[in-house]
Amino acid sequence: MTSLLPDETLLGLLADRPRHGYQLLEIFEDPVQLGAIWKASTSQLYAVLKRLERDGWITGIQVESDHAPTRTEYRLTSAGQARLNGWLHEPNPSASIRRVRVEFLSRLFIAHQLGIPTESLIQRQKAACQAALDQMRAKDAGMEPGVAQLSQAFVMAQLESVLGWIDTCESISVRS
């Protein structure tokens, strides 16, 4: 689990519908939603929300309720929507194992939440990982035996595993 909250994932949750901080926190705590990917504290979440508001990606509106204290409900701005769209349609996603596990899964989650087809998102991630693996294989051919080669072999094995896992993502996304 990762503890740095992703700006774009929060933007995606707010694109789905306006929410207050506690509603967002519940999504990050629920293992069926983003809780399996992200770990978020209340203070961390509110710090990110304040920064996103200060930077113009979201806006907060005070909402009164008969059954609860006044809360700030956050909404996506047009600039926030543009940033979210850029992230969802990233042409060259990272092939880093950590970023695949965290960002790619978050992209899939948000795309599903927003009803956006995931096929091209999955294909772009697959292409990025395959290109990284191909590049490493080419480099590996000329490496001297030793720790560097072992390290490279480890990363290549991870990428091969990720590519197989992405095939699983394709079959699950098609059924969802």
List pLDDT tens digits, range 57-80.
Answer: 999 999 888 887 889 999 999 999
Task: Band the pLDDT of 173: cuts 50, 70, 90.
Answer: low
For residues 159 and 129, the answer to whether their CB atoms sit within 8 Å is yes
Identify each DSSP E strand in 79-121 by its residue range.
none
For residues 152 and 143, the answer to whether their CB atoms sit within 8 Å is yes
* CATH code linked to domain 1-88: 1.10.10.10
**What is the CB neighbour count within 10 angstroms for residue 15?**
20
**What is the CB neighbour count within 10 angstroms for residue 5?**
20
- Tens of pLDDT along 107-135? 999 999 999 999 999 999 999 999 999 99
At 7, the amino acid letter reads D
Structure tokens that stand for 29 in this block: 């705590």
- Tens of pLDDT along 79-91? 999 999 999 999 9
- Spell 35-50 as b/e; 16+ CB within 10 A means b: eebbebeeebbeebbe
- For the entire predicted model, the pTM comes to 0.86
Residues above pLDDT 90, as percent of the chain: 77
Structural domain spans, the chain: 1-88, 93-176
Per-residue confidence (pLDDT) for residue 25, from 0 to 100: 94
